[in-house]
């Protein structure tokens, strides 16, 4: 599946896997994020933190009419304010996708799948 962009210069098709990889990379760079979690916890296990090559498993990209929605499943560091971390992830993902891909995202939905204690 791909997202279609059309402008005065032509037509562009961007794979949803590419969008998910860029969004996952931007999310993991945010303070307070331990890692991405799988969206299928029953199938993949409750405690799996996905490595760099598996960012796309924790991100769902949906296109409904002309709107693009992203669902992200994350694991947050213990001791951080979850609402602030989620807001920072939303802002960074929207900004990164706009600047790198040229895609205006309508919503970034954050699902916190767990809290982990990290080593200092």
pLDDT at position 80, please?
92
Question: How large a percentage of the chain has pLDDT more than 90?
Answer: 39
pLDDT at 52 over 80: no
- The answer on pLDDT for 47 being more than 80 is no
For the chain, the C-alpha Rg in angstroms (whole number) is 15
Domain count, the chain: 1
- The reported pLDDT for the residue numbered 46 is 47
Instruction: Name the burial class of residue 13, with classes exposed (0-12), middle (13-18) and buried (19+) by CB atoms within 10 angstroms of its CB.
Output: exposed
Q: Tell me how far apart the alpha carbons of residues 30 and 92 are, in angstroms, rounded to a whole number.
A: 8
CATH of the domain at 67: 3.30.70.1350
Residue-wise pLDDT for 60-114, tens only, equals 999 888 889 999 999 999 999 999 999 999 999 999 999 998 888 999 999 998 8
pLDDT at residue 61, rounded to an integer = 92
Listing DSSP states for 14-83 in one string gives EEHHHHHHHHHHHHHTSTTEEEEE-S-HHHH-TTPEE-GGGGGGGEEEEEETTEEEEEEEEEEETTS-HH
Domain span including residue 11: 2-116
Calculate the average pLDDT of the chain: 84
What was the pLDDT predicted at 22? Answer: 92
pTM assigned to the model: 0.82
CA nearest to 118, candidates 86, 76, 73: 76
């Amino acid at each position: 599946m791909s997202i279609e962009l059309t402008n005065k210069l032509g037509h562009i098709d961007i794979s949803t896997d590419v969008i998910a990889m860029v969004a996952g990379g931007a999310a993991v760079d945010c303070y307070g994020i331990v890692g991405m979690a799988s969206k299928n916890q029953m199938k993949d296990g409750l405690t799996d933190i996905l490595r760099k090559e598996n960012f796309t498993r924790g991100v769902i990209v949906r296109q409904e009419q002309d709107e693009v929605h992203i669902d992200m499943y994350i694991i947050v560091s213990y001791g951080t304010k979850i609402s602030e971390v989620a807001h920072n992830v939303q802002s960074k993902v929207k900004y990164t996708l706009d600047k790198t891909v040229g895609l205006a995202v309508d919503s970034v939905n954050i699902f916190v799948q767990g809290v982990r204690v990290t080593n200092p």
